[in-house]
């Protein structure tokens, strides 16, 4: 060590500032940070009975606009039943009794003034198995638009193209719009069904096991599509596949025996859940 | 071989962000080592103090990398090369944080040691060896970080081999200091300060070697840490 000291330099400027890159790992706001205007759906004290069997018990939850909310839980826990409540698909089943409330952007969906066809246009649904109509690719997407009536052909053309592009399908089908949808692969058919659902520009998309009948690559394409679609839509997804819920959703609700056991950000649910039953289920200890 | 992108653009972005954060941590830690050794050589107490102050930034980055890696593992279920990359990042960020600790130690030695006047000729020649040690350890650290970022496993092998030279120079410094303390017992504190700094630099070489081993694991899936243990 020499005794000479550094002469004259300003030590405080010796080390340059090294900017830390901002995290792009999405952190959805936790439920206590939600504002009223962020909420698309509000469920209050919802109970559902099939005859004497209670399938859903006192469900209360809020669903955030333009986010993906996943419902997970073992078979028979009520997750698909809950999903079907949001567009009143359970009305089609005999002997169903529902109490409690569901508000879509402030409108109580069970109100007598609600037009169910209109509700189902605002709350679109995609099922486990792709269910394209036995029509052309174009006609599948245009179908809901024609039902609305009054749209000129040019606007229907534009909306079909827009929907197919948003469903990440346009590049694969733009030169064969008049071919039968039934000739498409399973993954393409499911994206076509999603295009059909978004063509009528709903507020909410309900996805009931949308990828469970697809191969792994088609599944990842659907998941990437879900990630893109949440910029415009509020998405609720039911899945048996917990890993899929972890990959695609911002929020996750764990249902067990018809009850909402825990509902939080997906980060919390999959790294540090509060409830032991949630922990047991997601770590594969469910008995 | 060209790497294909993931189907999930978000997963791709998350991995890139994490690697960017690790690179930023590496840059900060390299600068900490450079400043700490510079402060020691020139007895610049304010520079040494600024190294100690910045130590918390290194720790903060390590915690962020740990937390984000955990989140990615929980939510993306990475496999194969993605899994090895994340394991490599997690382990290497621990090594980088410890390099930051060594820089902090060097800065504290500077702050706590009172230099003699006039300086000993004997120490001057030992400090030349310390400068060599610093160059070798800093080069290992810089190259190990570049190799991790570039997935350069052959470069990483060279970095692992370079650690032997760091150890040789370190042992030479220790021997010289031991002899010096015998000759100049009234200057034991100064020799001890040099020993502490040399020891920190040797440890920095070890951590760089660990990062190089993590690179090889990330790229090839081969664990080269303990060659005598069959895989």
Strands of the A68-72 sheet, one edge to the other: A123-126, A204-208, A234-238, A68-72, A251-256, A259-265
Q: What is the pLDDT of residue A9?
A: 40
CA distance A125 to A192: 13
B119 and A3 within 8 Å at the Cβ level: the answer is yes
Q: What is the pLDDT of residue A149?
A: 80
Which residues in chain A are contacts of B38 at CB distance < 8 A?
6, 14
Q: What is the pLDDT of residue B2?
A: 64
CA distance A150 to A162: 18
Which residues in chain B are contacts of A267 at CB distance < 8 A?
71, 74-75
Q: Residue A141 is inside which H or E element, if any?
A: helix A137-148
Asked whether the whole model's pTM tops 0.90, one would answer: no
Backbone φ and ψ for B141, nearest 5 degrees, come out as: -65, -50
- Structural contact between residues B122 and B184, judged by C-beta atoms closer than 8 angstroms: yes
Q: What number is the average pLDDT over the span B42-66?
A: 95
Would the pLDDT of B203 be above 60? Answer: yes
Q: Is the CA virtual torsion B200, B205, B209, B211 positive or negative?
A: positive
Alpha-carbon distances of B65 from A17, A62, B70, B87, rounded to whole Å: 19, 32, 8, 11
- Structural contact between residues B179 and B110, judged by C-beta atoms closer than 8 angstroms: no
Alpha-carbon distances of A124 from A164, A207, B1, B127, rounded to whole Å: 16, 9, 43, 74
CATH of A38-282, one of 3.40.50.300, 3.30.300.10, 3.90.1170.50, 3.40.50.1010: 3.40.50.300
B187 to chain A: nearest residue by CA? A1
Alpha-carbon distances of A125 from A84, A143, A195, A238, B225, rounded to whole Å: 9, 15, 11, 11, 53
Q: Is the CA virtual torsion A95, A99, A101, A107 positive or negative?
A: positive
Q: What is the pLDDT of residue B118?
A: 60
Q: Write out the DSSP string of A6-65.
A: --S--GGGTSPP-PPPPP-S--PPPGGG--GGGEEEEEEEEEEEETTEEEEEEEEEEEET
**ipTM of predicted complex:** 0.73
Mutation for B interface: A1, A14, A241, A267, most B CBs within 10 A: A1
Q: Write out the DSSP string of A215-250.
A: -HHHHHHHHHHHHHHTTT-EEEEE-S-HHHHHHH-S
**Stretches in chain A below the pLDDT threshold 50:** 1-21
Q: What number is the average pLDDT over the span B29-47?
A: 95
- Structural contact between residues A23 and B64, judged by C-beta atoms closer than 8 angstroms: yes
Q: Does domain B9-220 have CATH number 1.10.10.10?
A: no
Q: What is the pLDDT of residue A19?
A: 47
pLDDT band at B168 (very low <50, low <70, confident <90, very high): very high
Q: What is the pLDDT of residue A91?
A: 87
Which residues in chain A are contacts of B177 at CB distance < 8 A?
none
Instruction: Express each pLDDT in A42-96 by its tens digit.
Output: 999 999 999 999 999 999 999 999 999 999 999 999 999 999 999 999 988 889 9
Q: What is the pLDDT of residue A16?
A: 45
Would the pLDDT of B1 be above 70? Answer: no
Q: What is the pLDDT of residue A99?
A: 95
Residue extents of the structural domains in chain A: 38-282
- Residue A175: CB atoms within 10 A of its CB come to 8
Task: Provide the angle, in degrees to the nearest 10, between the axes of the packed helices B80-112 and B9-42.
Answer: 20
Longest dimension (CA), chain A: 93
Q: What is the pLDDT of residue B224?
A: 92
Write the residue in A1, A6, A270 that is nearest to B190 by C-beta.
A1
User: Which residues are paired to A207 by β-bridges?
Assistant: A126, A237
B126 to chain A: nearest residue by CA? A1
Alpha helix stretches (DSSP H) within chain B: 9-42, 45-76, 80-112, 121-150, 153-183, 188-220
Longest dimension (CA), chain B: 68
Instruction: Express each pLDDT in B61-115 by its tens digit.
Output: 999 999 999 999 999 889 899 999 999 999 999 999 999 999 999 999 999 987 7
């Amino acid at each position: 060590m020499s005794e000479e000291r550094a002469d004259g330099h300003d030590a405080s400027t010796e080390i340059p500032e090294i900017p830390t890159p901002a995290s792009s790992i999405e952190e959805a706001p936790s439920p206590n940070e939600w504002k009223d205007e962020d909420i698309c759906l509000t469920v209050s004290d919802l109970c559902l009975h099939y005859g004497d069997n209670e399938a859903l018990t006192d469900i209360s939850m809020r669903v955030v606009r333009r986010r993906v909310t996943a419902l997970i839980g073992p078979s028979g826990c009520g997750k698909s039943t809950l999903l079907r409540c949001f567009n009143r698909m359970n009305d089609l089943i005999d002997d169903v009794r529902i109490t409690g409330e569901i508000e879509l952007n402030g409108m109580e969906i069970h109100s007598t003034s609600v037009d169910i066809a209109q509700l189902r246009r605002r709350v679109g649904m995609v099922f486990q198995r792709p269910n394209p109509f036995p029509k052309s690719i174009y006609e599948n997407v245009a179908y809901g638009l024609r039902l609305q009536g009054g749209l000129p052909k040019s606007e229907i053309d534009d909306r079909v193209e827009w929907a197919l592009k948003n469903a990440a399908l346009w590049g694969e089908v733009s030169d064969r719009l008049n071919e039968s949808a039934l000739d498409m692969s399973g993954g393409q058919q499911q994206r076509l069904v999603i295009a059909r659902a978004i063509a009528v520009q709903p507020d909410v998309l309900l996805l009931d096991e949308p990828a469970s009948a697809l191969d792994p690559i088609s599944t990842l394409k659907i998941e990437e599509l879900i990630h893109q679609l949440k910029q415009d839509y509020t998405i609720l997804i039911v899945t048996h596949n917990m890993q899929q819920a972890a990959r695609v959703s911002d929020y996750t609700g764990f249902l067990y025996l018809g009850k909402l056991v825990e509902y939080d950000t997906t980060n919390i649910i999959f790294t540090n859940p509060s409830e032991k039953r949630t922990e047991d289920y997601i770590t594969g200890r469910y008995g | 071989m060209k790497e294909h992108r993931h189907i999930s653009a978000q997963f791709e972005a998350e991995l890139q962000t994490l690697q960017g954060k690790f690179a930023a941590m590496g840059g900060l830690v390299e600068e900490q080592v450079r400043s700490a050794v510079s402060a020691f050589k020139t007895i610049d107490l304010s520079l040494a103090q600024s190294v100690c102050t910045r130590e918390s930034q290194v720790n903060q980055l390590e915690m962020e990398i740990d937390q984000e890696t955990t989140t990615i593992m929980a939510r993306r279920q990475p496999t194969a090369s993605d899994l090895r990359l994340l394991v490599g990042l997690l382990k290497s960020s621990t090594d980088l944080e410890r390099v930051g600790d060594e820089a902090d130690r060097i800065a504290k030695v500077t702050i706590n040691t009172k230099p003699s006047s006039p300086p000993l000729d004997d120490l001057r020649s030992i400090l030349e060896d310390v400068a060599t040690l610093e160059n070798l350890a800093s080069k290992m650290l810089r190259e190990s970080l570049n190799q991790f970022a570039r997935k350069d496993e052959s470069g990483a092998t060279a970095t692992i081999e370079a650690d032997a030279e760091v150890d040789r120079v370190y042992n030479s410094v220790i021997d010289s200091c031991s002899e010096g303390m015998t000759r100049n017992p009234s200057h034991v504190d100064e020799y001890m300060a040099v020993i502490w700094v040399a020891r920190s630099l040797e440890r920095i070489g070890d951590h760089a070697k660990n990062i190089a081993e993590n690179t090889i694991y990330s790229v090839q899936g081969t664990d080269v840490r303990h060659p005598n243990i069959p895989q």
